[in-house]
Amino acid sequence: MSETDQDRHRALDAATAAWATQAPDAAAAQIVLEPAFAVLASPGWHGVDGIHFKATFPDGSRRHVKAMHADAEHYVHLPTAFEAARRAAEAGIGPPVELADLGRATLVMADLADHRTGTLDKLRDPVICENALRQRQAFHKAARLGHEVSPFDEIRRFHAACRESGAPMPADIDWLVGNLMEAEKAIQATGIDLVPAHGDGNASNFLVGPDKSVLLVDWDRAADMDPFADLGSFMVEAAQQEPEARDLFVLAHGTMDEALFARTMLYGLADHLRWGLIGALLAKVSTRPSLEFLKYANWRFFHCRLNVRDPRFAERVRRV
């Protein structure tokens, strides 16, 4: 049985289990699965962590089923991801979750037909951008998830994993990692508070309702972290230039604080490097060669390199 067939079977089993809570005598054959969308690893990271299906139940209702892919184990802590999705659903921050099945590594969620996947152009809408930001901040007020993550720790972990596996990395990778470790020292010297956070600013990780309301999805990078790390991950996606980044920081923080802005920007660079290393690792170990993992990795490495070479990088390290 191919991996795709295995994913489909897991998704069908989970959908059947969810339906069985409403109709215990339901049969698996009565549920129809269709691909939800095409998986894309370049130029964006869309649907890569799992295989997504639209499930039509016997009563005609539909659900969205996400069966985590095997290679996601390299960078996703599944118990935390599923717990975060469940909590977000309860708080109205994410779509309703009907079943979080760790054994099958599958989520069954409401299918929100009137919502659309977030894109970069949607983040250019100030109302949508602010709503996405406020939902992220709302989750910060929840109870801790019990799983701490630092992007700098992950840089070290994925860098080591890439070396061990022989993954392709740029010639200047040690220089990039070394510079980000200097940023880590500066941030750690100021002290860090931890909050539960979404952790991934990718534009496809939110849904937009017809009234421009936002729900957060894909909680695979969720963890307890510095709230400015969460903001930095969002900022590198939502703000392409520094003036936009400054405006977004003020929107998030309420006022400009140069030290905290520098901290946030450094976290954004760490996010670029972390995702570059994840992409490079999957380019080596994933069984899905059709996905352009290395192209995505190089795009992230490029943005990290561009900003580390910028004279403002050293200034930000000093300023935090």
- Are residues 37 and 130 located together in one domain of the fold? no
**pLDDT score for 318:** 96
Structure tokens, 133:
């930001």
Which tens digits make up the pLDDT trace of 44-82? Answer: 787 788 888 888 888 888 999 998 988 999 999 999 999
What's the chain's length in residues? 320
Structure tokens, 275:
């995702």
pTM over 0.85: yes
Which tens digits make up the pLDDT trace of 73-131? Answer: 999 999 999 999 999 999 999 999 999 999 989 999 999 999 999 999 999 999 999 99
**pLDDT score for 30:** 80
Which tens digits make up the pLDDT trace of 273-284? Answer: 999 999 999 999
Residue 22's contacts (CB-CB under 8 Å, 6 or more residues apart) are none
Split into its structural domains, the chain has a count of 2
End-to-end CA distance of the chain: 53
- Are residues 26 and 109 located together in one domain of the fold? yes
- Are residues 81 and 201 located together in one domain of the fold? no
- Are residues 165 and 282 located together in one domain of the fold? yes
Distance CA 76, CA 54 (A): 23
Looking at 116, 148, 177, the residue that finishes a domain is 116
Distance CA 50, CA 54 (A): 13
Helices (H), 191-241: 227-238
- Are residues 240 and 160 located together in one domain of the fold? yes
Contact present, 180 and 269 (Cβ < 8 Å)? yes
Distance CA 242, CA 249 (A): 10
- Are residues 200 and 183 located together in one domain of the fold? yes
- Are residues 21 and 152 located together in one domain of the fold? no
- Are residues 159 and 303 located together in one domain of the fold? yes
Q: What percent of the chain lies above the pLDDT cut of 70?
A: 91
Q: Which amino acid is at 305?
A: R
Q: Which CATH number is 32's domain given?
A: 3.30.200.20
Contact present, 95 and 106 (Cβ < 8 Å)? no
Nearest to 95 by CA among 201, 215, 199: 215
- Are residues 65 and 205 located together in one domain of the fold? no
**pLDDT score for 178:** 98
> Is residue 23 pLDDT above 70, yes or no?
no
Contacts 24+ apart (CB under 8 A), 16-23: 17/99, 17/101, 17/108, 18/63, 18/98, 18/99, 18/108, 19/57, 19/58, 21/98, 21/99, 23/58, 23/59
Looking at 71, 98, 116, the residue that finishes a domain is 116
- Are residues 134 and 41 located together in one domain of the fold? no
Looking at 70, 93, 116, the residue that finishes a domain is 116
Strand order in the sheet with 206-208: 116-117, 206-208, 214-216
Q: Which domain holds residue 87?
A: 3-116
Which tens digits make up the pLDDT trace of 129-141? Answer: 999 999 999 999 9
Complete DSSP assignment for 139-181? HHTS---S-B--HHHHHHHHHHHHHHHT----TTHHHHHHHHH
Q: Which CATH number is 175's domain given?
A: 3.90.1200.10
- Are residues 96 and 52 located together in one domain of the fold? yes
- Are residues 13 and 131 located together in one domain of the fold? no
Which tens digits make up the pLDDT trace of 244-285? Answer: 999 999 999 999 999 999 999 999 999 999 999 999 999 999
Helices (H), the chain: 3-20, 78-90, 120-123, 126-140, 151-165, 173-190, 227-238, 242-253, 258-285, 293-309, 311-319
Residue 202's contacts (CB-CB under 8 Å, 6 or more residues apart) are 44, 45, 46, 218, 237
> Is residue 200 pLDDT above 80, yes or no?
yes
Contact present, 63 and 111 (Cβ < 8 Å)? yes
